[in-house]
Amino acid sequence: MGSILLKNILHDEAICQILVEGNRISRILPAEAAVDVQECTEVVDCTGKAVLPGLVNMHTHAGMAMMRGVGEDIVFHEWIDRIWKVESDIDDEYVYHATKVACLEMIKTGTTTFNDHYWHMPMGYKAAMEMGLRCGLAYVICDRNDPVESERQKIQCREMYEYSRQWGHMAQFVIAIHAIYSVSEPLLVWAVDFAREHGLKIHIHVSETRKEVQDCMAQHGGMSPVEYLDSLGALGPDVIAAHTLWVSDNDVRILGERGVTCVHNVNSNLKLASGYMFRYNELRDAGANVCLGTDGCASSNNLDMLETMKTSAMIQKAWRDDPTAMPLNELLAAATVNAGKALGLEIGKIEEGALADLIIIDTENYNFLSPGTFLANLIYSAHSDCVDSVICDGKFVMRGRVVPGEKEILSQARREMERLSSR
């Protein structure tokens, strides 16, 4: 593999040089330092640009990228029924093209890794690898309390796990348990055991709505979803819990003690009116690992992690009546290094030896004409169109705002939508 030298680039409020060799950051040097440039090294002048770790979307449904606007202005449980009806008509080809669209959007907005929760896993894998993104890909457990379906999913899960063993280092197999209300207890326990037998991450929706909590307490002797999952031995540092909105003090304690990763999906939660008082401070202080996600485009309508970061911080400040809530450094960590910890990957940080997942930001525009720090201007002033280039696993996947083949990706997606609508 070749190498890339990023010259005159702003990193941590200082101009420096970053040498990428293979798929890792090999050296970070002062701007004036002499670098022995080899023939295989591409030198990129980054004057007027800054670098950040690639953003990580820790909860999304990439296959929903072509479902924007299908469930507007309805309550959550009507929304999910509508989505399940739409999903009953889709197939492998649809998910492949939708995931390519999702990957295109994520690249354009600075995301280099995504943790997916969707069906048709082989198509998700094919699309993500073609686009050059790092990912966690799910086998979704969701039997809706049907014993026949439960047994079918056990068999298929084993088959998909064997299939995933041919994957390279850019993707990892994840067990995605849909939710406690859509998965029977025996299958949920089986899925957790299977994941731990094979050293896999567990990705599950938890306490997303008030109704989910109320129904759980009525069904399980007053236990909340968090307490119920804990009673089954399902919680641990291998668990990625999406939403965790409606959590009590005891829930927070459990999530912290078990080292669970809690993923805040603010825009989706706001739009579906699921809730907004995500207990970031409490979860952080209890020991939970807090990350950020967009959810799927059927609810959030986009996959823009910069927008997610801004909204997350502003909502925390508003409901807490505290302008110091969710400070910039913690906000960036939630979108980068915390996600690396959750996935067991050396991503989300710019340091020698880390995987070379980087985004290059164009600062030569009005958003950065202020005495504020780069990070403040990026998150609170700029938009994702300032993402100039993206490097994932040591390779450019976007340069100068251009992703190879993006016009054809969109053309194929339009044809796929036409095909589906004509059935």
Nearest to 115 by CA among 388, 345, 363, 343: 343
**Which residues pair with residue 175 across a beta bridge?**
139, 202
Per-residue tokens: 180: 């406690």
* Residue 230 pLDDT class (50, 70, 90 cuts): very high
Contact 27, 261 (CB under 8 A): no
Contact 294, 265 (CB under 8 A): yes
Nearest to 215 by CA among 261, 170, 246: 246
Q: Which domains does the chain carry?
A: 3-53+350-406 (2.30.40.10), 55-343 (3.20.20.140)
Q: Does the structure show a pLDDT above 70 at 322?
A: yes
Q: Does the structure show a pLDDT above 80 at 1?
A: no
Can you tell me the mean pLDDT for 233-255? Answer: 98
Q: Does the structure show a pLDDT above 90 at 159?
A: yes
Per-residue tokens: 318: 């508003």
Q: Does the structure show a pLDDT above 90 at 420?
A: no
How much of the chain exceeds pLDDT 90, in percent?
94
Can you tell me the mean pLDDT for 352-375? Answer: 96
Residue showing tokens 């354009």: 108
Residue showing tokens 């593999």: 1
Strands (E), 208-357: 239-243, 261-264, 289-292
Average pLDDT, the chain: 97
Spatial neighbors of 81 by CB under 8 A, at least 6 apart, are none
Can you tell me the mean pLDDT for 21-33? Answer: 96
Q: Which residues of 75-94 are buried (b: 16+ CB within 10 A; e: fewer)?
A: ebeebbebbeeebeebeeeb
pLDDT value of position 38 = 83
pLDDT value of position 39 = 80
Q: Please state which of the ranges 33-37, 66-70, 270-274, 390-394 shows the lowest mean pLDDT.
A: 33-37
Helix or strand holding residue 328 (H, E)? helix 328-335
Contact 177, 202 (CB under 8 A): yes
Nearest to 349 by CA among 134, 54, 59: 54
Tell me how far apart the alpha carbons of residues 141 and 156 are, in angstroms, rounded to a whole number.
Answer: 10
Sheet containing 24-30: order of strands? 24-30, 14-21, 3-11, 41-53, 358-362, 387-392, 395-398
Q: Please state which of the ranges 37-46, 115-124, 327-336, 390-399 shows the lowest mean pLDDT.
A: 37-46
DSSP secondary structure of 159-216: HHHHHHTT--TTEEEEEEE--TTTS-HHHHHHHHHHHHHTT-EEEEEES-SHHHHHHH
Can you tell me the mean pLDDT for 190-201? Answer: 98
- Determine how β-strand 3-11 pairs with β-strand 14-21: antiparallel
- Determine how β-strand 387-392 pairs with β-strand 395-398: antiparallel
**How far from 366 is each of 136, 193, 292, 353, 378, CA to CA, in Å?**
36, 53, 27, 34, 11
Q: Does the structure show a pLDDT above 70 at 416?
A: yes
The CA dihedral of 254, 258, 264, 269, to the nearest 10 degrees, is -40
R_g (Cα) of the chain, nearest Å: 21
Tell me how far apart the alpha carbons of residues 61 and 296 are, in angstroms, rounded to a whole number.
Answer: 5
Can you tell me the mean pLDDT for 403-420? Answer: 96
pLDDT value of position 289 = 99
**How far from 118 is each of 140, 176, 228, CA to CA, in Å?**
6, 8, 24
Q: How far is CA 227 from the centre of its chain?
A: 25
- Determine how β-strand 14-21 pairs with β-strand 289-292: unpaired
- For 92-145, how does the pLDDT look when each residue is reduced to its tens digit (9 = 90+)? 999 999 999 999 999 999 999 999 999 999 999 999 999 999 999 999 999 999
Burial class (CB in 10 A: 0-12, 13-18, 19+), 390: buried
pLDDT value of position 40 = 80
Q: Does the structure show a pLDDT above 80 at 423?
A: no
pLDDT value of position 154 = 98
